[in-house]
Structure 1
Amino acid sequence: MNEIYSHTHDVVRTYIVNRRRNNADWESILFEDNEAYTLDQFLDIKKMSGDFPNDVTKETFIQIVEEQKEEEQEAESIKVADEHTVMLSNTEENDVRVPTHPDSSWQLYKAKLQRNGFTDESIYNLEQSTLQILRKLNRNTSGMEPKKGLMVGHVQSGKTASMAALMAMAADWGWNYFVVLSGMIENLRSQTETRLWGDLNNGGNLNWKIIKNPSKQSENGQRLQDLHFKESSERYLTVALKNKGRLEGLNQWLAEDENKIKDLNMIIIDDEADQASINTKNVNSSERATINRLVVDLVEGTNRGTQPRSTNFISYTATPYSNFLNESTPESLYPSHFIGALPTAKEYFGPKEIFGLEEEGYDGMNIVRTIGDDEVDEVKEMQEGKKTNLPVSLKRSLAWFICSTASMRHPSINYKKPVSMLIHTSQLQAHHDEMANQIGSWFKNQSTKEIVTFCRKVYEEETAAFTPDDLKRSVPKYPKDASQLNDYPPFDEIKEEVTALIEHEVSHIMMGEEGDLQYHEGMHLCIDNCSKNGIIDDFHIRLSYPDPKDKNYPEKTPAFIIIGGSTLSRGLTIEGLVSTYFLRGPNASDTLMQMGRWFGYRKGYEVFPRVWMTGETQDKFSFLSNLEWELRRELEDFKASGKKPSEYGPRVKNSPKVSWLRITSANRMQSAQAVDLDFSGTSNQLIHYHKDPQILEHNLEVTEDFLKQCPEPYKSVFGTSIVFEQVDFNLIRDYLLKRMTFHERSTVFNHIDQFCEWFEKAEDEMKFKPWNVVVSGAGKVDVNDNSNWNIHGYHVGKVNRSAKRKDGDDEIREKMDHVNIGVLRAPGDLIADIPQDSIKEFKAEDKSLKDIGIKNISSLREKYGLDATPQLLIYRINKKSSPASEKHRAPLDLEVDPIGICLFVPGDRKKGAKAKALQIKIDPEQFYEPEE
């Protein structure tokens, strides 16, 4: 029921949370185990005392309990831990509350979100995160320093919705002028302005007006002296480009009327704050980069004699690395008052959902396909006009787009919004033109029958590779059951539409006599970075989707193939993106992540998106997925420890191989310093293995030699493994870790020197005990079975670990020099080294915990005295391992048994950190408040 998300029921949630903190189980909270009181009697007492609202019924209470129970379970899961707001702050909170009047700006915006299909839970989370931000801001505080904060979101995750919510709720509480700094490209600025105006201009108690391009030359009605701030229902919005002329004009406009500015309660929102606003000048220079200087002037009021009643500066970005590493002086834009992470709706598909979390053993969705290295060369030759044949991977991506469009037009789906394909392979306009010509030629030169046959092959392979059931297994948090998702129609039912799409000429958007855009039923070929302003003869070349309100909106789902560069790299939303062909691979992680147009919401076509990219680019996005997760987790840790943004800058893990991927460009992190990063509390498992039999044989020999140096083992509590206790780390380092050969894709193990360096420094400080080494296997350890692995007289069974099959194209995988098994260890193996003198107690109390989840490992190890004992897990994997089903897995098919290892290090996140990372230099004294 919708009302459970009402803020009036927060007291019920608080009661439940407090009971859980006091170790109450769910049965006792529902009074199912209480003979003295029933739940009905308890609720009557709470309502009579005024502790609960009168509208809390038994059904409502049970629903809220179920909601809290689900939230608690999800909070412990790796898949949903980013769905709440994390906020670090050292600022005193104001007393604002959620506006409740039906004609308030917030309630009208909220109603619009409901009409647009936002779930009650998503709206509730948005409301709570907005309230958290709003309570950090200045109100009616003339003379105080501007409040500066930063909110971290995800690419394409709805940051604009958060900005609109903040402005709506702030407007209800008296903030009266809002400036949104929106990128450097006019059509993106215009898109943001149109979106915000549509979100905020809903009538009600307030009257919204747009101030366009404010400057000294603003026309009557748009000048500062013409506006009404004091005790007025007028609210004003400016969406400004981050360029020199626009910002200078805005600063001059604000200096025009000293009396008006005294009544100004201003909120400045920096959208895409890592772009342009960053100071790229040397940190020791008194000169600032132009845009940064102008933004600082806007926030600080450097050139204004009179300051607004209040000024607040809030940055929004999905890639905050340069914001964290740039500069931290009080006059900079560093978010010294608060840093937060926005909640992410369950409907969002982001880096974690698509690329997984390798270090956590979470695979992600099987929608990424590999472009082979040889095909990269083919694309380059094709773009330069040296080759006229499309690479197979590009043909497959085009075929999938055709089939997806035909499917979306099928009566069972009847999707009406645009459907798109994105081709992003170069920044050069000439390459875009050549790509468009080559694609057009492919459709012209192939017979319809040939393309339809190829489409059938691709469609059948792709629809088998990723189904609605697969989506729910990959993203169990998604709020629809598999049966509720739009499934793929049979090919024979879309064949006619596939044929029609192919036979219809692939063309640019036609222009009518009046300059109006005319859309057809075929595929529109758009170049969004083209020359000649996007107009050639009677064609509109650049991307322009039809207006759904237009009476001439196409009857059939309109289809767009979009080729482009810079405007497709940041900010622009690609509608209905089902097929992406991506060859751009910049070395700066923030640039790369912003190019992920395939992230976002996919309502109505959840199973259709596919992405083609190189294996190296997949690795980069996988790394960034883990980086993003670790950053959010670090913010959680800072919040728990009471750290303030002005005391400590978030650490950003640097790539082990800087030449492979930089966090951000060098001139954006001139205040960064190398600091220590805590490897404690981590479990790193080896999942990439060479196919080369000599390397596999070498690793097997190294491992067996190492185990011979270890003391006598004993059989583990589960009987499926053996345990070597109190092994010195020097032995592990010198005889195993530094002698094994790891594949270059194993980023942790391939740079094992950094880990060893960290452990050697941390061993005494963290008071680590000697290691336990566990050789884990399949089946019971047998001292007589010669078919197993003979270690110190014990025969440990080889484990079965098949290879991941993430590609629909087996041919590409066959060319790879490695296999990826996805997950090596089971969580239960991490407690296989229970001490011998505790085995009886464990078997009596915890026998059922063999299959325990990873979230309980630390508490169990602490229970049995292993909280300071690192663990090394070793597996011998059967070289002929085969999967139970070959749909998502393939036989391992190696010539030699590979050796798998897992490093588990206990953690105390309150203690020091000892490995390479980047962190901004902060002098706490520069943020001290002056004494009254």
Structure 2
Amino acid sequence: MTDELALLALHRAAFGGMSAGPRNLAKALAYHADEHPGPLPDLGETALRRRLHHAHPDDALLILWRDRLSRWDFADGDIPPNTDARRASTYDALGLERVTRDLLDRRAPFARASGAVVITDEGWDPWYTEEVARHHSHYWDAYRNTLLGKRWAPEAVAALDRNTTRVVERLADPTCEQPYQAKGLVVGYVQSGKTANFTGVAAKAIDAGYRMVIVLTGTIEALRAQTQRRLDMELVGVENIYYGQDPDSGTLAFRDYDYLDDRDRLDGRFLRHGALPSRLGGFDIVRLTRHQDDYQALRQGLSALEFEKADRFTPLYAPENLHRSSARLMVVKKNASVLKKLVKDLARIKTERGEIPALIIDDESDQASVNTSDPKKWAQDQVQRTAINGIISELLGMLPRAQYIGYTATPFANVFIDPADSEDIFPKDFVISLDRPEGYMGVADFHDIDSTIPSAERTVANSAGLAHVRSVRPAHDDDDSDLRAAIDMFVLTGAIKLFREDHGLGADHFRHHTMLVHESVRTHVHRDQAELINGIWRRAGYLGAGAQKRLRALYDEDVYPVSEAHAAGASIPDSFADIAPYIGIAAMRIEDSNGSPVVVVNGDKEIEQRAADFDRDKVWRILVGGAKLSRGFTIEGLTVSYYRRKTLTADTLMQMGRWFGFRKNYRDLVRLYIGRDEGGRNGDLYEAFEAICRDEEEFRDQLRLYAELVDGAPQVTPAQIPPLVTQRLPWLKPTARNKMFNAELVETRSPGRWVERSAYPSKPAELRHNVERFEPVIRSLAAERTELAYPVEDRLLRFPAYIGRIAHAPLLSVLRELRWAEPAQFRPDLAYLENPEIAAKIDDWVVIAPQLQSPNLDPVTLHGFGPLDVVSRRRREGGLFDQVSFGTHRFAARRIVGTDTSIGDRVADGLAGPRRGCLLVYPTMEPEKNDLVMAFALVPPVTAVGRDRRLVAFRAKDSSRGAAAIVAAPAAV
């Protein structure tokens, strides 16, 4: 054994003895050195540092250290996780020298993410302790090692470990005598690894004693099969799939067994336990669904659902039975006829159903699962559930020990479920919001949200929109130039991927390379699109010299500048000449034997020639489709998206954001071609995505804000979450109307936070009233303009403004008398400012009137003060504005109220005070109108916090519903 391998083996042994936490490394190494056969390597820290300093990122010893440190970084304890203090305590326990600590900080830095945010009900029992997890961890350990073997970063695995524990610990103890059904919701991001999370949850739950796991996928078979394969590959393992038989023996029939010719299984990428887990002292997983087979009625094979007991005189949930009984796993799509087969079989089994600890994982839980029957009937106790919702409720009724966890990236429909309906799937016990994963491309990579960089100074290097987004103009019958440009980009980026494989990444690194075209859910539209794309492809001339000039210009003007700024270490061709030889190769790989680059994925058997099988094939194709590509189904290798579909609900639109996800080694090549309608009152898809992403991030921010316990109790429970949902675009509802319910938010407290409401009236008389009421605010402004600063990259820029000061009481008099198109929008903020406890903590407000917003509009004089510059903003359909303010003005406001520290702006520093708020005034006009809108934003002092530190207060609209925060809304017509 070489010194390197011996050192690795000794460190593994030393760390293996530290399951309860870190302890002195030198002593642990010395202890295991006594039993080590053969010559010993140098065990001193100097030798360790030398090895880690020169280690390749994939070096086994470095990965071991990163993995172990990450586990301790994320572990529960008295010291907050993922902090300098936590890492220092680990180093202290290991007894490491300062120079070793500094090296590990560089080579194994801890993840500074805040971790999953948990909103929970009161009184949950913390049964899933570290001791329980440590003593029953076979499937979790196997899954964890599988992810590390796939080169997941140890820090990412450690984060997954912590986040899955947050879910499992809020389920009921499977060994508890008294059954309890916990119901929760896990909120991730679109295409962000939710499957990895629920696979980890399933692994830990099975280890802990859950013996039936039902995974409900979306409504299409492609997603169900994709999920089944993922679970089989990473959780179930080869031995369980083949019942301990050798799949390579040649004796197994293809019709009876999955994956016999699967490339990943043949290449050793499927998990192996070494033997059937039951032969290793554990228990097996029995699959009741297969890769290509959804749940089938068991008939005479009903024994597959019967649970064996080691002690037949004690219930199944007793520990002596649970940990010797096989678990059952089924992956079922949300199809009523399929689910009814499962319900029917469960009704016939001999095992007492009340003894079975079951876990129902509902992927894409806002789709099909939510009850959308007419809520008006509920008041008459006539709940008529929709099909899937009714079957899920029936399953929960049949299995008293069943736990329900919904997973979604678009949670609004779930939190709008009536919490008073005990049989429904409202997440009464917990809502967990997952962190944005490292390496994930999301909204911030396609939108310049709150960018302070002036438009004239934005480049592909400092603007996400300029780097990755290309506008698609309104369609014309004879103009396909935007689609042609997108297809050119698809071929060109494919050639660059081939270039990168030849320059460091290795062959077959980019197994998949795809483009998405989506304009409609209608199958006849897909047929037309396929014909159009095929026509463009035939005329493009990619296999000859005809396309060279066009692609050269695209590379020089678009691809190269973006890659130079965002390639993040990936190879960049010096010139188009370097990738020209790959153009034809990429084109040939994209087209099929008939010369077509298109795969239609929409369920229409006449035009859907074949599925895009990412598991078995290399997929280099242009995918055309609708609903089948919009939910959960992962489009591997997606690089170019062409999207023009109009929808009126935010969750549907967000789920179509297939361009979100992980794009390792090609994020610089990603392009979004999206419909724009800058001149219209609604329908600008790019704007709509930005608006709903802002709403979603605000929802997550508020969850994070309210997650802090106050006197050991939650500020909000899951039943109180719906009022936190916002809506920026009136025409784009958070979810379908028949999924929405209402709550009345009495008071929202916003110490140090930006508050901007947009429901200004439109009637001229009401607008004039508001201008008149603002007289004390306008008269408070000083006659001389000054300048305030905001940061742009590494420098400070300034904007001119009039500045004044007004006491809290006169400002309240102004705000009380303002008129609104929707008074309920501002009422909770006013209640906060009027609260006597809060008002006593606010002395005055700095008033800022920023200038030079719209130089093309004539300034105005108000109440004898002027000239004041006017902002130009357009209302959206429904009468609301989107956002009037400017992100560049927030820095001074946050500094003044105490939220932020100084950025070097002496004016803002001089205005800052501990009992001072900030009010920003924006006289606004709509294009082609003369009525002035008195728009404003405010930031209360960061110290304006009540004694109870609570940030929200609720009241039920319907007193007959008791304390429930949600009442029924009219169903959609």
Confirm or deny a common fold (TM above 0.5). Answer: yes
Change (3 A) 1:55 1:218: farther
Where do residues 391-410 of structure 1 align in structure 2 (5 Å cutoff)?
Answer: 392-410=481-499
Give the unaligned 5+ runs of structure 1. Answer: 21-25, 31-38, 47-51, 76-82, 302-306, 382-386, 472-481, 511-521, 688-700, 740-749, 779-787, 802-817, 835-845, 877-898, 928-932
Structure-2 separation of matches of 1:920 and 1:114: 54
Find out whether 1:865 has 2:913 as its counterpart: yes
Q: 1:130 aligns with which of 136, 161, 164?
A: 164
- What is the one-letter code of the residue matched to 1:407? I
Structure-2 separation of matches of 1:757 and 1:459: 53
Change (3 A) 1:8 1:250: same
Instruction: Tell me the equivalent position of 1:376.
Output: 474
Instruction: Tell me the equivalent position of 2:888.
Output: 824
Find out whether 1:451 has 2:547 as its counterpart: yes
Q: 1:183 aligns with which of 215, 218, 221?
A: 218
Change (3 A) 1:5 1:797: farther
Cα offset, 1:239, TM superposition: 0.7
- Whether the 8 Å contact between 1:350 and 1:599 is mirrored in structure 2 is yes
Instruction: Tell me the equivalent position of 1:279.
Output: 371
More off after superposition, 85-94 vs 788-797: 788-797
3-state SS in 1 of match to 2:192? coil
Find out whether 1:467 has 2:501 as its counterpart: no
- Whether the 8 Å contact between 1:328 and 1:334 is mirrored in structure 2 is yes
- What is the one-letter code of the residue matched to 1:9? W
- What is the one-letter code of the residue matched to 1:224? L
Instruction: Tell me the equivalent position of 1:528.
Output: 601
3-state SS in 2 of match to 1:824? helix
Where do residues 500-579 of structure 1 align in structure 2 (5 Å cutoff)?
Answer: 500-501=585-586, 504=588, 507-508=591-592, 524-529=597-602, 531-532=604-605, 540-545=609-614, 547=616, 559-579=620-640
Where do residues 84-483 of structure 1 align in structure 2 (5 Å cutoff)?
Answer: 84-90=116-122, 91-97=124-130, 99=133, 104-138=138-172, 139-200=174-235, 201=237, 202-204=271-273, 205=277, 206-212=283-289, 217-220=298-301, 223-225=304-306, 230=321, 231-232=323-324, 234-283=326-375, 284=378, 285-301=382-398, 307=399, 310-329=401-420, 330-358=422-450, 364=464, 366-372=466-472, 375-378=473-476, 381=477, 387=478, 389-390=479-480, 392-410=481-499, 411-412=502-503, 413=505, 415-447=509-541, 448-467=544-563, 469=565, 471=566, 483=568
More off after superposition, 912-921 vs 259-268: 912-921
- What is the one-letter code of the residue matched to 2:490? F
Change (3 A) 1:84 1:529: same
Per-residue CA deviations over 1:720-742 (Å, capped at 9, x if unaligned) read 8663111789899999x999xxx
Per-residue CA deviations over 1:752-796 (Å, capped at 9, x if unaligned) read 987766655543224255532235689xxxxxxxxx999999999
Instruction: Tell me the equivalent position of 1:669.
Output: 740
Change (3 A) 1:789 1:186: closer
- Whether the 8 Å contact between 2:537 and 2:597 is mirrored in structure 1 is no
Instruction: Tell me the equivalent position of 1:627.
Output: 695
Where do residues 479-490 of structure 1 align in structure 2 (5 Å cutoff)?
Answer: 483-487=568-572, 490=575
Cα offset, 1:651, TM superposition: 2.7
Structure-1 separation of matches of 2:159 and 2:788: 43
Structure-2 separation of matches of 1:427 and 1:419: 23
3-state SS in 1 of match to 2:145? helix
Q: 1:774 aligns with which of 844, 848, 854?
A: 848
Change (3 A) 1:686 1:656: closer
Cα offset, 1:286, TM superposition: 2.3
Structure-2 separation of matches of 1:260 and 1:360: 63
Structure-1 separation of matches of 2:572 and 2:919: 45
Change (3 A) 1:707 1:638: closer
Instruction: Tell me the equivalent position of 1:807.
Output: none
- Whether the 8 Å contact between 2:896 and 2:916 is mirrored in structure 1 is no
Cα offset, 1:530, TM superposition: 5.4
More off after superposition, 169-178 vs 179-188: 169-178
- Whether the 8 Å contact between 2:752 and 2:894 is mirrored in structure 1 is no
Cα offset, 1:580, TM superposition: 0.3
Find out whether 1:764 has 2:834 as its counterpart: yes
Find out whether 1:638 has 2:699 as its counterpart: no
- What is the one-letter code of the residue matched to 1:607? D
Structure-1 separation of matches of 2:673 and 2:940: 36
What RMSD over aligned residues (CA atoms) do the two structures have, in Å? 5.1
Instruction: Tell me the equivalent position of 1:804.
Output: none
- Whether the 8 Å contact between 2:305 and 2:346 is mirrored in structure 1 is yes
Determine which structure has greater relative contact order: mean sequence separation of CA pairs < 8 Å that are 6+ residues apart, divided by chain length: 1
- What is the one-letter code of the residue matched to 1:298? L
3-state SS in 2 of match to 1:106? helix
- What is the one-letter code of the residue matched to 1:444? R
Cα offset, 1:681, TM superposition: 3.8
Structure-1 separation of matches of 2:698 and 2:901: 33
- What is the one-letter code of the residue matched to 2:139? S
Change (3 A) 1:614 1:608: same
- Whether the 8 Å contact between 2:692 and 2:727 is mirrored in structure 1 is no
Structure-2 separation of matches of 1:155 and 1:326: 21
Change (3 A) 1:149 1:833: closer
- What is the one-letter code of the residue matched to 2:847? V
Structure-1 separation of matches of 2:86 and 2:202: 38
Structure-1 separation of matches of 2:181 and 2:953: 35
Cα offset, 1:256, TM superposition: 1.9
More off after superposition, 710-719 vs 758-767: 710-719
- Whether the 8 Å contact between 2:217 and 2:332 is mirrored in structure 1 is yes
3-state SS in 2 of match to 1:155? coil
Cα offset, 1:144, TM superposition: 2.3
Instruction: Tell me the equivalent position of 1:891.
Output: none
- What is the one-letter code of the residue matched to 1:724? G
Structure-2 separation of matches of 1:368 and 1:112: 33
Find out whether 1:682 has 2:753 as its counterpart: yes
Structure-2 separation of matches of 1:443 and 1:269: 43
3-state SS in 2 of match to 1:423? strand
3-state SS in 2 of match to 1:132? helix
Number of corresponding residues? 758
3-state SS in 1 of match to 2:396? helix
- Whether the 8 Å contact between 1:423 and 1:580 is mirrored in structure 2 is yes
Q: TM-score, normalised by structure 1?
A: 0.70
Structure-1 separation of matches of 2:74 and 2:540: 66
- What is the one-letter code of the residue matched to 2:549? T
- What is the one-letter code of the residue matched to 2:368? A
Change (3 A) 1:468 1:271: farther
- What is the one-letter code of the residue matched to 1:723? I
Instruction: Tell me the equivalent position of 2:280.
Output: none
Per-residue CA deviations over 1:836-884 (Å, capped at 9, x if unaligned) read xxxxxxxxxx99752699xxx9xx89x95344422327799xxxxxxxx
Cα offset, 1:484, TM superposition: 2.5
3-state SS in 2 of match to 1:281? coil
3-state SS in 2 of match to 1:377? coil
Structure-1 separation of matches of 2:959 and 2:606: 42
Structure-1 separation of matches of 2:906 and 2:161: 36
Structure-1 separation of matches of 2:308 and 2:814: 73
Change (3 A) 1:262 1:738: closer
Cα offset, 1:254, TM superposition: 1.8
Structure-2 separation of matches of 1:350 and 1:528: 24
- What is the one-letter code of the residue matched to 2:643? F
- Whether the 8 Å contact between 1:653 and 1:677 is mirrored in structure 2 is no
3-state SS in 1 of match to 2:436? coil
More off after superposition, 422-431 vs 630-639: 630-639
Cα offset, 1:18, TM superposition: 9.5
3-state SS in 2 of match to 1:273? coil
Instruction: Tell me the equivalent position of 1:603.
Output: 664
Structure-1 separation of matches of 2:387 and 2:780: 63
Change (3 A) 1:19 1:119: closer
Cα offset, 1:468, TM superposition: 5.3
Structure-1 separation of matches of 2:574 and 2:568: 14
Find out whether 1:9 has 2:57 as its counterpart: no
